[in-house]
Structure 1
Amino acid sequence: MYSKAGRDLGRCYVLVATDDKQGYVWVVDGEIRTIARPKRKNSRHLDYKGEDLETLAVKIAEGKQIFDSEIRSALRSYGKEGR
């Protein structure tokens, strides 16, 4: 996912949680926004590019612990460090 609005415009994130009732999502990038401090963002301000980081998606869906280093590595492997 890419940010379409705000100070983080163009930055790539991994979605970790949603709040469908209010339309917010929590995203991380493994650097500035870590698992311990996810960013709450309006889902309308994100652009989903259709790429799925398979290993992270499976771990998140299963409720397993993921690490910031895994997120950074996955985003780097797809060339999506942002900005």
Structure 2
Amino acid sequence: MDMGLNELPDDSLCRIGQVVRSRKGKDAGRWYVIVGISEDGRRVYLADGRKYTPAKPKPKNTIHLQRTGWYLDEIAQSILSEGRIDAGRFQALLSGLYRNEQQGG
């Protein structure tokens, strides 16, 4: 099943739809998807589909994040075109990502 998971160039900045991992704070080690970016680009809004939904994202400073090369096209396109994403679809995409990561690949 194609989840729309694409590789990003290493020199890219944080983008909506990008998968990141928290490096600092109580949530260190948790995986998130960027669902919004502040105007100055120093803070991003993150969702994990559990505690933080796309409708109520977690704000976090970008210096506390580890960027991955993963990018979820469907999430980015939905947010950029409609301004939102269906919570059920978001959960389904992230579940596939978690399973893929646990299987090592």
Q: TM-score, normalising length from structure 2?
A: 0.67
Corresponding residue number in structure 2 for 1:45? 64
- Spell out the pairing of 1:28-43 with structure 2 (5 A cutoff): 28-43=47-62
Pick the structure with more strand per residue: 2
Say which one has the larger Rg.
Answer: 2
Q: Structure 1 residue 18: deviation in Å?
A: 0.8
Unaligned runs of 5+ in 1: none
Q: 2 CA distance for matches of 1:46 and 1:34?
A: 18
Q: TM-score, normalising length from structure 1?
A: 0.82
Q: Is the 8 A contact 2:54 2:84 kept in 1?
A: no
* Aligned-residue identity in percent: 31
Q: Structure 1 residue 19: deviation in Å?
A: 1.2
Aligned residues: 80
After the TM superposition, which of the residue ranges 40-49 and 20-29 deviates more from structure 2? 20-29
Unaligned runs of 5+ in 2: 1-19, 100-105
